[in-house]
Structure 1
């Protein structure tokens, strides 16, 4: 019974140390990016802003692709129309 208690205590201590190390590593990464890990509201607002920015860039890329495809399709149709007019006009 004592061995189980000792093993459980050692495992609990190691788990606590691992959690503390993981939290410190995460805080160090956030600080490296210039983010304050203590101000959770500010951190949440920063990430929400980044998400909105990413979504707007993705939407702009999608619209740009659609505009390019539309322009190419319109150009091809215009070329076909002009070719038909020239062919039938002779």
Structure 2
């Protein structure tokens, strides 16, 4: 679970078309809890939400993983959902 979760901005094109969907992002959680190397591994529908998801997840912060008392990097996957319903 992220400690800081910045919500993505709903893309204007998707709003105008009343589109909803999701993006699955794979990334590395750095030893300091930041996100690096995010990449989209799935998007539905394609071409609407990918950039918004990547921008948002770059600002997320996670609890670092400790191994023998030392913070280490780890890979993670997160699904970001885009819904018009609040």
Larger helix percent? 1
Question: Which of structures 1 and 2 has the larger relative contact order (alpha carbons within 8 angstroms, sep 6+)?
Answer: 2
Larger strand percent? 2
Give the structure with higher Rg (CA). Answer: 1
TM-score (norm 1): 0.19
TM-score (norm 2): 0.20
